[in-house]
Amino acid sequence: MQSKSKLAGALLGAALWLAAAAPAAGAAGLTPRQILDHVDDLFRGKSSQGLMTMTVVTKHWQRTLTMQWWSKGKDRSLVRILAPKKEAGTATLRVGNNVWNYLPKVKRVIKLPSSMMSGSWMGSHFTNDDLVKESRMADDYTFKITFQGVRDGREIIEITCRPKPDAAVVWGQVRVVVQAGDYLPLFMRYFDEDLHPARTMYFTNVGDLGGRRLPRTMKMVPQDKPGEYTLVTYQKMRFDLELADSVFSLRSLRD
């Protein structure tokens, strides 16, 4: 009698294990790691260049910036504001973990102190840290698929990522939701260390960008500031073009 129930228990356990393992196996070939890498690599290339608009809406003001950017590899980028006129020429250069801003009004380059890396970038709801982040989600987090199926009429895969103990990450958890099939991200929700939602980035407006099929609009919505958001829309984008290293120098920052 006893041995029978043991056997039944083992069988039940095996069945549950199979059931739990099934979604991962059913993700049409891509493992969770591959999905995360896919999301990370969407906008990456050997190099890229493009034009975007950023609209920041806060309780007290709203404004739209038009910006041009260049990037090379994982760790070099340059962003320059084209409009509005008051701030045209203001530029941000990132090389590795260093960030410099050029201020045309005073014709000075200033280096951002590390204490301000978690501060807002150009008044938006993105932080300077978001800008310099180059490590892959799959390296910084442990992850697993926590939902797969139809939610809100869409077939999705939800991956929940928890930071590895030694990862330099400010979030307590990140939930990445991608569309099943093409694995394009739908949204990423960031949780603070108490696992309360802190902010959500939505990806919409999928279309052609530089020859890739990408979400062309990203909307960052902070949880603690109702009504506020930052909307980034890519107008033009080119991937894998030839860019000289000198583009990412303090000298070119001033131009």
Partner 1 sequence: MNTLRVAWRNLWRNRRRTLVTLAAVSVCTLILTVIYCLMEGLMVGAVANTTNLSLGEVQVYAKGYRHDRSFYKALKDPGAILAAASAAGVGAAPRSYSFGLAALGAKSSGARLWGIDPAAERAAFDLYRHVAQGRFLGDRPEKAVVLGYKLAKSLEARVGSTLVVVVQAADGSLGNDLFKVVGILKSCGAAIDRNAALVHRADFAELLVSGGRIHEVALNSRGRMPLEKLRALAAAAAPGQEVTTWRVIMPAASDMLNVWDSMMWLFGLVFILAAALGLMNTMLMATFERIREFGIIRALGATTWRILADVTGEAMILSLLGTGLGALLGLAVSQYLVVHGLDMSSLAGSYSVGGLTFDPVWRATLSLRSFLEPVLLMFGVCLLASIYPAILAARLDPVRAINRV
Residues of this chain that interact with partner 1 (CB under 8 A) are: 56, 58-63, 86-87, 90, 101, 103, 105-106, 108, 110-113, 115-116, 120, 122-123
Q: Which is nearer to partner 1, 113 or 165 (CB)?
A: 113
Taking the C-alpha atoms of residue 40 and residue 69, their distance in angstroms, rounded to an integer, is 18
On the 0-12 / 13-18 / 19+ scale of CB atoms within 10 A, 105 is: exposed
Q: Reduced to 3 states, what is the DSSP secondary structure of residue 67?
A: strand
User: What is the closest distance, in whole angstroms, from the C-beta atom of residue 83 to partner 1 in the complex?
Assistant: 12
- Specify the residue, 114 or 235, whose C-beta has the smaller distance to partner 1: 114
SS3 177: strand
For partner 1, give the closer residue by CB, 1 or 106.
Answer: 106
Cβ 89 to partner 1 shortest distance, Å: 11
Nearer of residues 112 and 243 to partner 1, judged by Cβ: 112
Q: Report whether the peptide linkage leading into residue 84 is cis, meaning its omega lies within 30 degrees of zero.
A: yes
Complex with partner 1: residue 49 or 92, whichever CB lies closer: 92
What residue has token string 């030694």? 166
Residue 185 forms beta bridges with which residues? 178
The number of beta carbons lying within 10 Å of the beta carbon of residue 229 is 19
CB of 109 to partner 1, least distance (A): 9
Distance in Å, CB of 62 to partner 1, minimum: 7
Q: Cβ(27)–Cβ(145) under 8 Å? A: yes
At closest approach, how far in Å is the CB of 105 from partner 1?
A: 6
